[in-house]
């Protein structure tokens, strides 16, 4: 979806959000590995997406509103790259789940 289309269709997020993203990496024909465990790094893709959600699409008032990321990258056929992204308001349950996970890991 083009940035202009997005601005006209969706409301802007002003509070804490959860972003789930699957980055679709075109698989070179010579590559035999199952996962794209090479550059670009997932964290750099996340940073770029966060910036785009703020500046290009204006879906986020600020990318600092992202309080939780769920991000993966997978190979897809050549010429089919991109990103599948879901943005939703962060909930009290998200916070509780993160607190529970943090406590169980210590």
Side by side, the strands of the sheet bearing 66-76 are 66-76, 17-26, 82-89
User: What would the pLDDT profile of 4-13 be if each residue is shown by its tens digit?
Assistant: 444 456 789 9
Distance CA 27, CA 41 (A): 15
pLDDT surpassing 90 at residue 105: no
Asked whether 23 and 72 are in contact (CB, 8 A), the reply is: yes
Q: According to the model, what pLDDT value does residue 106 have? A: 63
pTM given for the model: 0.85
At residue 86, the 3 state secondary structure works out as strand
Q: According to the model, what pLDDT value does residue 34 have? A: 96
Give me the number of domains the chain comprises.
Answer: 1
Distance CA 106, CA 99 (A): 11
User: What would the pLDDT profile of 27-73 be if each residue is shown by its tens digit?
Assistant: 999 999 999 999 999 999 999 999 999 999 999 999 999 999 999 99
Distance CA 100, CA 89 (A): 19
Q: 54 lies in which domain range?
A: 3-104
**Residue 81, domain CATH:** 3.30.1330
Q: Closest Cα to residue 7, out of 57, 53, 55, 65? A: 57
């Amino acid at each position: 979806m083009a940035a202009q289309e997005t601005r006209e269709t969706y409301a802007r997020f002003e509070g804490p959000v959860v972003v789930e993203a699957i980055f679709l990496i075109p698989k070179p024909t010579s590559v035999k590995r199952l996962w794209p465990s090479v550059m670009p790094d997932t964290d750099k893709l996340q940073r770029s997406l966060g910036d785009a959600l703020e500046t290009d699409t204006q879906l986020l008032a600020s990318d600092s509103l992202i309080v939780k990321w769920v991000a993966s990258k997978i190979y897809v056929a050549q010429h089919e790259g991109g990103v599948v992204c879901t943005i939703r308001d962060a909930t009290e349950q998200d916070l509780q789940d993160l607190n529970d996970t943090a406590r169980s890991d210590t």
